[in-house]
Amino acid sequence: MMKQGVLTGLLALSAAVADQRPNLVFLMTDDQASWTLGCYGNPDVQTPNIDQLSRDGMRFDHHYDTTAICMASRATVMTGLYEYKTGCNFKHGNLVSGSWKKSYPVLLRDAGFRTAFAGKFGFHVNEAPEAKKGAMPEEDFDVWAGGPGQTSYATEKNPALKKYVEEYPHSTLAYGAFGSDFIKESAAAGTPFCLSISFKASHRPVKPDPRFDDVYKGKCFSKPANFGRGHGEHFSKQSRQGRQYPRFEEWHYHDNYDEVMAKYNQQVYGVDVAVGMIRAALKECGADKNTVIIYTSDNGFLCGSHGYGSKVLPYEESSRVPMIVYDPRHPNSGKGLCSFALTGNVDFAPTMLNLAGVPVPASMDGSNLMKLYDNPEAEIHNALPLINVWGPKEAQSLAVVTKTHKYIYWYYGGEGFEPAEELYRIDKDRLELTNLAQQPEQKAVLEKMRKQYDGQLGRWQDQAVEYNRYDPFGVLFDRAQPWSKKAPLVKDF
Region 137-156 average pLDDT: 96
pLDDT single digits (tens) 198-248? 999 999 999 999 999 999 999 999 999 999 999 999 999 999 999 999 999
Per-residue pLDDT tens over the stretch 99-110: 999 999 999 999
CA angle 118, 339, 29 (to 5 degrees): 20
pLDDT value at residue 84: 98
402-414 confidence digits (pLDDT tens): 999 999 999 999 9
Identify whether the C-beta of residue 110 lies closer than 8 Å to the C-beta of residue 143: no
Q: Is the pLDDT of residue 17 over 60?
A: no
**Res. 427: pLDDT tops 90:** yes
How far apart are the C-alpha atoms of 93 and 469, rounded to whole Å?
A: 9
Report pLDDT for 491.
Answer: 80
Q: How many residues does the chain have?
A: 493
Residues paired with 198 in a beta bridge: 28, 119
Mean pLDDT across 333-347: 98
Instruction: Please give the share of the chain, as a percent, with pLDDT higher than 90.
Output: 94
pLDDT the model gives residue 20: 86
Can you tell me the mean pLDDT for 288-300? 98
For residue 12, what pLDDT is reported? 38
Taking alpha carbons only, the member of 472, 471, 468 closest to residue 485 is: 472
> 113-128 pLDDT, tens per residue?
999 999 999 999 999 9
Q: Of 78, 79, 38, whose CA–CA distance to 59 is shortest?
A: 38
Q: Does residue 11 carry a pLDDT above 90? A: no
Round the average pLDDT of the chain to a whole number and report it.
Answer: 95
Long-range contacts: 366-373, Cβ < 8 Å, 24+? Answer: 366/80, 369/60, 369/325, 369/343, 370/325, 370/327, 372/58, 372/60, 372/339, 372/341, 372/343, 373/58, 373/325, 373/327, 373/330, 373/332, 373/339
Write the CA distances from 278 to 25, 108, 273, 288, 293, integer angstroms: 9, 21, 9, 10, 10
pTM (2 d.p.) = 0.95
Is 7's pLDDT higher than 50?
no
Task: With a cut of 80, say whether residue 2 has pLDDT above it.
Answer: no
Name, in order, each residue with C-beta under 8 angstroms of 279's C-beta and a sequence gap of 6 or more: 49, 53, 288, 293
- Whether the predicted pLDDT of 286 surpasses 70: yes
pLDDT category at 19 given cuts 50, 70, 90 is: low
On the question of pLDDT at 353 being above 50, the answer is yes
The model's confidence at residue 133, banded by pLDDT at 50, 70 and 90, is confident
Residue 416's contacts (CB-CB under 8 Å, 6 or more residues apart) are 237
Q: What would the mean pLDDT of 378-406 be, rounded to a whole number? A: 98
Tens digits of residue pLDDT in 453-481: 999 999 999 999 999 999 999 999 999 99
Share of the chain above pLDDT 70, in %: 96
Residue ranges of domains in the chain, CATH in brackets: 22-374 (3.40.720.10), 384-490 (3.30.1120)
- Look at residue 202 in the predicted model and tell me its pLDDT: 97
